[in-house]
């Protein structure tokens, strides 16, 4: 990753922060954006996305990390709830990718990493809104990978299960909740940001140079083992 220009959206906390740290340790030039004022550069993906003059001329990799965890019975979700999850998880990615497309095409081997969730492939109660939004992300991953393949731009997504991030703090806030989550995963533990960051950096690098249009199920076995 040395001297590669990598754009990270949502790089100020959780998985994004771990990805930024790993990329910098490998010598990448990281351009990090976050809704928080504490981020390197501020960006709210739910509003108009204007990245003019903020992106490198050539973009070798882009990771879109913003996400939501909104869990409740289907009848309690409002249309606004569905719209918000779609805006953050899917439409925000669309806006950023359209803004970055020119720079990605200038790279000799660009890679895009998006994020889905285990809940798209496994029916989980109370996940109807986020699973729907992330399902759109998986469709975008496959479609763009086909469209951009002639430009040597790879597009893949990671579909994690529950990971210990600030976003998941309510689901892992007590020892009992942590133990219950551990038991739900065949490998006996929930995810760590470092688990996901390692996979994201792999997808950005040359070692995955023949991989595109794939959904990487990084979920402790939840999607494939009973």
Tokens 């990245």 belong to which residue? 51
Please give the average per-residue pLDDT across 18-43, as a whole number: 91
Per DSSP bridges, beta strands 153-160 and 215-218 are: parallel
Q: What is the pTM of this model?
A: 0.95
Q: What is the pLDDT of residues 70-90, one digit of tens each?
A: 999 999 999 999 999 999 999
d(Cα 8, Cα 199) in Å, to the nearest integer? 15
Q: What is the pLDDT of residues 138-188, one digit of tens each?
A: 999 999 999 999 999 999 999 999 998 888 888 888 899 999 989 989 999
Exposure string over 154-171, b if 16+ CB within 10 A, otherwise e:
bbbbbbbbbbbbebbeeb
Do the Cβ atoms of 2 and 201 come closer than 8 Å? no
pLDDT at 39: 61
For domain 5-218, the question of CATH label 3.40.50.720 is answered with: yes
pLDDT at 226: 81
Do the Cβ atoms of 211 and 151 come closer than 8 Å? no
Neighbours of 46 (CB within 10 A): 14
Sign of CA dihedral 197, 167, 65, 133: positive
d(Cα 110, Cα 60) in Å, to the nearest integer? 4
Q: What is the pLDDT of residues 94-140, one digit of tens each?
A: 999 999 999 999 999 999 999 999 999 999 999 999 999 999 999 99
pLDDT at 30: 97
Confidence of residue 38 (pLDDT cuts 50, 70, 90): low
């Amino acid at each position: 990753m040395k001297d590669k220009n990598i754009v990270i959206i949502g790089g100020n906390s959780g998985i994004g922060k771990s990805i930024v740290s790993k990329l910098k340790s490998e010598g990448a030039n990281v351009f990090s954006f976050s809704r928080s004022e504490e981020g390197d550069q501020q960006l709210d993906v739910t509003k108009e996305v204007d990245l003019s003059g903020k992106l490198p001329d050539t973009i070798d990799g882009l990771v879109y990390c913003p996400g939501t965890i909104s869990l409740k019975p289907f009848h309690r979700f409002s249309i606004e709830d569905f719209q918000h999850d779609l805006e953050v998880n899917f439409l925000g990615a669309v806006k950023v990718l359209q803004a970055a497309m020119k720079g990605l095409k200038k790279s000799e081997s660009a890679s895009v990493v998006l994020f889905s969730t285990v809940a798209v492939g496994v029916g989980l109660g109370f996940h109807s809104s986020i699973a729907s939004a992330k399902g759109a992300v998986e469709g975008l991953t496959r479609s763009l990978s086909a469209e951009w393949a002639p430009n040597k731009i790879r597009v893949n997504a990671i579909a994690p299960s529950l990971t210990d991030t600030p976003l998941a703090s309510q689901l892992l806030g007590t020892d009992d909740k942590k133990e219950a989550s551990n038991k739900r995963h065949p490998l006996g533990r929930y995810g760590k940001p470092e688990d996901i960051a390692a996979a994201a950096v792999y997808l950005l690098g040359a070692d995955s140079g023949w991989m595109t249009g794939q959904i990487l199920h990084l979920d402790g076995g939840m999607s494939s083992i009973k």
